[in-house]
Every structure is written in structure tokens, then in C-alpha cells.
Structure 1
Amino acid sequence: MKTDSQLQQDVMAELKWEPAVHAAQIGVEVKNGVVTLAGEVGSYVEKWNAERAAQRVNGVKALAIDMKVKLSQLGKRTDADIAESARNILAWTSALPQDAIQVLVEGGWLTLSGDVQWQYQRQAAADSVRYLLGVTGVDNQIAVKPSLSAAVVKSDIEAALKRRATADAKAIAVDVKGADVTLSGTVHSWAERDLAKHSAWGTAGVRNVVDNMTLVY
């Protein structure tokens, strides 16, 4: 079990190792395994990469974000320009149905809404606009339409878990209510946790995944 001091050093080292992040601008605090990232970054995608870098570190129990995006003069754009760019790139994203996603931009913060059939489509929409110049944040409110029965969804998720992580599948319980999936049980790393959630989100008809899994090192 890492001490808070060791965990802080590991997170700082991971931030320095991540080329998309200016680590010197980000402060790291740790208390009881909960990591807080603070400071100012030059873009939303840098903030996003810093979050992912911290999550990669073994021993992180939870992550709190207190980073702010401060755009340079060259990085600033009007909301209308950002909205137009977002609509164009969404239209060119092959994974998305035509005109399925609506875009709202306020103060550089981009909100996506609409309906899709699969979680990967929902994720593809957010991924496609994350790197746009001038964006200070992305709120993904796209809904996944349920298309399968609860019994089929539960069966598909459990089968996927067994294929990908046989040992861990036995320790993870899957509960399905409508199109909402709750995962509980124990996992031994963030990678295993992400695998279980990915298995759930990769099933057609899943609209929401609640992570009640416990991380045990």
C-alpha cells in the first residue's frame, strides 16, 4: 500500500512523463489515496490528458479536479465559431448517424445532446470535438437508446467479462434495470475496472453504467 507521499510523487512523475501536459503548471495533493489536481492549463484537452495520466497511477482511489482552462489570445474563439466547427466535424464522423447530435456552446463550454444506439457512438462524438480550438469543456448529454431486453443485456455483459477477464468476472456482479447497468464487486486495478465498465458500455442498449465496484490492491 502506497503512502500519500509516495502516491503524490508517482502522480507528479506520470504528469511529467505525459507529453501533452505541462506538469509544472499542475499541483498535486493527496489525502487518504484521493488525488486532487489543481492549477491552470492552456486547453481543455490538456486538462483531459492530465486527468487520464493521474488515473493510470496504481493506488489512486479517487480523483478530484480543481484545474481551470485559461486560453491564450490565439486560442480564443467565439461560441458561434466553435459551434460551427463542432457541427462540421460531427457531420464528418463516420460512426455517427447524420444529424443525430445537437450542439450548444456557451463561454467555450460545449454541450452535446441527441440520441444514438451505441455507447461507442456517444464516445466518438465527444472525442471528435475535444480537440477543437477554443473549447474549455465538453458536457456529453447524448443518450443511448435502449434496444434490448434487460435479460439479454445482462447476459451479454457477463459473457464479455468472462471472455476478457475470467478471474475478475467471478468477482463482479451485474445488475440491469431497464437500460441502466450497475456493476459491483471487487477489482484489483484501474485497468480491470475500466475493462468491466467498457464491457458494460459495449453492449447494445445500455444507457447508463453505475460503477459501485471496490478497488482492492
Structure 2
Amino acid sequence: MRTDAQIKQDILDQLEFQPNIEETKIGVVVKDGVALLTGSVFSYASKIAIVKAIKKVAGVKGIAEGIKIGYMSNLNKTDTEIANSAIKAIEWHTSIPNNKIIIEVDNGWITLSGELEWAYQKDAARRTVEYLSGVKGVTNHITFKQTSIHPKDIKKKITKAFERSAMIDALGIAVETTDHAVKLTGKVRSIAEKEAAQKAAFNAPGVYAVQNELKIEY
């Protein structure tokens, strides 16, 4: 069992290792494996990069994120400019049927809505717009069009995806499927592995919801 002090030091080392993160502007406190983050960054993309980097640290069980975004003047964008950038980004993405997505922007916050066929398309839409300049956050309200795929076939595809992944220990994860919903149970080594398993499950055809009950143990 790693101590909170050891986890904190690993987090600081991880942030310092990332060339796109100004680690000196971020405060870190760790209690019972949960990392409390404070400080400020100049973009939503930087905020995402920090959280993503910390999720890779062994022993981190959760993240309480209190990082604020303070834009430099050259990064400020109007809602119209952000919306136009988001529309173009979605149009250029080959995996997303752009004519089925509605983009709304309010004070730098993007809301996505519409109906798509697969969960991976919904995730791709979010990832495509969240790194755009001027974006303060993304709410993803995209829903799914019903498809007829048997739960056993869904489970088989997810299990195979786990076995192919270098990040996921397939032997430690149990998969249950009911209609278009998936439940994951078992043990993983980090938040990053837990999220990788959830993403792999979401990417399987016919999956609309994933109940991720994987426990982090190191």
C-alpha cells in the first residue's frame, strides 16, 4: 500500500514530466488516495491534460479538481467564433456524422446534442471540441439510435477488445451485458486503466451505457 506522501510525489513528478503542463501553477494535496488539485491554467485543454496525466499515477483512487481557467487575451473567443470552430472540427472528423449533431455555445461552454448510432461517436464528438481555443467546458447530451445487437455478441466484442489492449488486464475484469447496457466489475491498477476499460466497452457496437464498478487496487 502506497502512502499519500508517495502518491503526491509521483503526481508532482508526473506533472513535471509533461511538457505541455505548467506544474508550478498547480497545487496538489493527497488524502486517502484522492488527489485535490488547485491552481489555474490558461486553457480547458491544459486542464484536461493535467487530470489525464494524474489518472496514470498508480495509487490515485480519485481526483477532486478545483483548477480554474484564466485565459490570456489572445485566447479569448466569442461564442460565435467557438461555435464556428466546433462545427468545422466536427465536419473534418471522419468518424462523426456531422449533420446529426447540434452545437450550442454559451459563455465559452459547449453543449452537444443530437442522435448518433454508436457511443464511440459521442465520445469522439466531445474530444473533438474540448481542445478548441476559448472552450471552458463541454456538456454532451447526444443520445443513441436503437440497434438490434444481441447482448452475448456485445460481451464477446468487449472481452476481445480487453484482450487486445496493452493497458487492460482482461483477466481481472468481469463483463455483464443486459440489452444495450454493460456492467464492469473486478480490479484494476489505476484510474487510467479503469477509464480505458470503460472506453473499450463504450466503443463496442450496440453499447449505450456502461456501469463501471471496477475497483482500483495497487
TM-score (norm 2): 0.90
SS in 1 for 2:74: coil
The answer as to whether partners of 2:27 and 2:38 remain within 8 angstroms in 1 is yes
The answer as to whether partners of 1:28 and 1:36 remain within 8 angstroms in 2 is yes
> 1:13 and 1:91 mapped to 2: Cα distance?
38
User: What is the 5 A alignment of 1:176-195?
Assistant: 176-195=177-196
1:56 aligns to what?
56
The answer as to whether partners of 2:56 and 2:190 remain within 8 angstroms in 1 is no
Q: Single out whichever of 94-103 and 115-124 deviates more from structure 2.
A: 115-124
2:80 aligns to what?
80
> 1:86 and 1:80 mapped to 2: Cα distance?
10
Q: Single out whichever of 44-53 and 137-146 deviates more from structure 2.
A: 137-146
> 1:191 and 1:85 mapped to 2: Cα distance?
29
1:45 aligns to what?
45
SS in 2 for 1:30: strand
**What is the aligned-residue RMSD (CA, Å)?**
2.0
> 1:3 and 1:41 mapped to 2: Cα distance?
28
Shift of 1:191: 4.9
1:31 aligns to what?
31
SS in 1 for 2:93: coil
The answer as to whether partners of 1:145 and 1:207 remain within 8 angstroms in 2 is no
Q: Deviations over 1:10-45 (max 9, x none)?
A: 111111111111111111010000011111110000
Q: Does 1:128 align with 2:131?
A: no
Gaps of 5+ in 2: none
The answer as to whether partners of 1:145 and 1:205 remain within 8 angstroms in 2 is no
TM-score (norm 1): 0.90
Partner AA of 1:94 in structure 2? T
Percent of counterpart pairs with the same letter? 38
The answer as to whether partners of 2:115 and 2:145 remain within 8 angstroms in 1 is yes
Q: Which has the higher contact order (CA 8 A, sep 6+)?
A: 2
